[in-house]
Amino acid sequence: MSATLDNWRTTPHNIWAFHNIEKLIPVHTIPRPDKSSPLRINRKSFDNFNIQSGDTKLDLPAFLIHTNTDGFVILHKGEVAYEYYANDNNASSKHIMMSMSKSVTGLVAGILSSQGKLDLSAQVKKYVPSASNIYDGVTVQELLDMRSGVKSEDDRHDYRAAAGWNPLKGDEEAKTLHSFIEKLDAEIDETKGFRYSSVNTDLLGWVLEAATGQKLADLISELLWRPMGAESDSMITVDAEGLARAAGGMCATVRDIARIGQLLADGGRDVVPKSWIKDMLHGGSTEAWSKGTFAAFFKGVFGGEATAYRDCWYSADVNENGKESVLMAVGIFGQQLMIDLEHDIVMAKTSSMEMPMHAQKARLQTEAFREVRRVLLG
């Protein structure tokens, strides 16, 4: 095995590591139900799929290779229209979701809120009094929307080491996520505009555990994974004390990732409240997004000008009729879940790209979703 904590996110080591995370980092299992909801198969032809990458035309297989795809599932009206695996992945491979994990955490928060177990308007310190003073006055909803004002600490070695994602060098002040969040001294944007910072979601995971007295893995299983009929166990990485990496540590099969999308396309099926899905779609601030840290990088990636980030999900105006009916979960290295709620189309993709953030390939993935829609609806 060539992958280690030192190199597992770099090419070529990530190709193996991304679907063998449990061999590198401690995990908690997220159990599936005793009986899953089978995915019906209704293969569709994508022979006329055609997108452009620079001067090169790509059919669907070429696109999947070009974007380092490990697993790929298209659902149309709840049926598998297309499925693909590469790099020793298969239908049972549990692939790291990276920041798509945030979107799952957001769904759990929405369910708990609907049950009266989580107050979104409450200050974070109601649930986690020991959180750093930089979170004074910050609400749970602001964590969900990346509007806490805390600027990104994502590239810090000590943050990743505290999460168990990097080896400890021995001189880190914080050796667990709890400790890192308690000691965090980051720059603050007082306007509380959109500032993407993964530590917000790791703190959100801690809030959910504090509010319920349950581990995040158990909450995901009880509130989402089992009710939606997942076909496989999933898992989430944890630090040395067992706190889940809510911001990026979840690992699941691409089929079950697609099931999350189908659950939302089905209106939540009494698992995710319809009101929460509506809030994910329409509750975000496009103004905050346009002035935020991702606007320049993602310009043109998600289509129209209605892009927003709400409840740990992206929403975008990418439909020809201008309706905001597309939700997206996105993770570094090419993880992507796109859902057209209006037309009941889901595209789930796991990948092992060479670079964490690759604007050209990110745009290509979203263009591929538009082309999938064209083929299916044509």
We report the CATH number of the domain holding residue 76 as: 3.40.710.10
- pLDDT value of residue 248: 98
Is the predicted pLDDT of residue 202 greater than 80, yes or no? Answer: yes
Q: How does pLDDT run across 133-164, given as a tens digit for each residue?
A: 999 999 999 999 999 999 888 889 999 999 99
Beta bridge partners of 82: 74
Q: Is 317 domain-assigned?
A: yes
- CA-CA distance, 35 to 65, in Å (whole number)? 34
Alpha helices in 69-171 (DSSP H): 100-114, 140-144, 157-162
Q: Is residue 7 part of a domain?
A: no
> How is 51-97 classified by DSSP, letter by letter?
EEETTEEE-HHHHHHHTTEEEEEEEETTEEEEEEE-TT--TT--EE-
Q: Residue 303 pLDDT more than 80?
A: no
pLDDT at position 135:
97
The residues, any chain, with a CB within 8 Å of residue 377's CB and separated by 6 or more, are 343
Q: Is the pLDDT of residue 297 over 90?
A: no
Residue 3 lies in a domain: no
Share of the chain above pLDDT 70, in %: 96
Q: Total domain count for the chain? A: 1
From the list 111, 104, 166, the residue with the least C-alpha distance to 330 is 104
Q: Which residue has the higher pLDDT, 363 or 177?
A: 177
Residue at 319 is within a domain: yes
pLDDT of 302 above 70 = no
Q: What is the mean pLDDT of residues 30-36?
A: 95
The parent domain of residue 359 ranges over 13-377
pLDDT of residue 192: 81
Domain assignment present for 328? yes
- pLDDT of 217 > 50? The answer is yes
Q: What pLDDT, on the 0 to 100 scale, is given for residue 1?
A: 57
Kindly state the average pLDDT of the residues 286-306: 73
Question: Has residue 2 been placed in a domain?
Answer: no
Look at residues 333, 329, 349 and name the one whose alpha carbon lies nearest to residue 72: 349
Q: Is it the case that residue 321 has pLDDT exceeding 80?
A: no
Burial class (CB in 10 A: 0-12, 13-18, 19+), 96: buried
pLDDT digits (tens, 9 = 90+) for 109-125: 999 999 999 999 999 99
What tens digit of pLDDT does each residue of 45-95 get? 999 999 998 889 999 999 999 999 999 999 999 999 999 999 999 999 999
| Residue pLDDT, tens place only, 4-26 | 999 999 999 999 999 999 999 99
Determine the pLDDT at residue 323: 58
Give the pLDDT score at 184: 96
- Yes or no: say if 198 and 330 are a contact pair by the CB < 8 Å rule: no
- Residue scoring higher pLDDT (102 or 362): 102
Q: Residue 28, SS3?
A: strand
pLDDT at 292: 84
Going by C-beta distance under 8 Å and a sequence separation of 6 or more, which residues neighbour residue 283?
310, 311
pLDDT value of position 294: 82
Q: Is residue 347 part of a domain?
A: yes
Report in angstroms the alpha-carbon separations of 129 from 139, 162, 168, 306, 323.
13, 20, 27, 36, 41
Does residue 167 sit within a domain?
yes
The pLDDT, as a whole number, for residue 319 is 47
pLDDT higher than 90, residue 232: yes
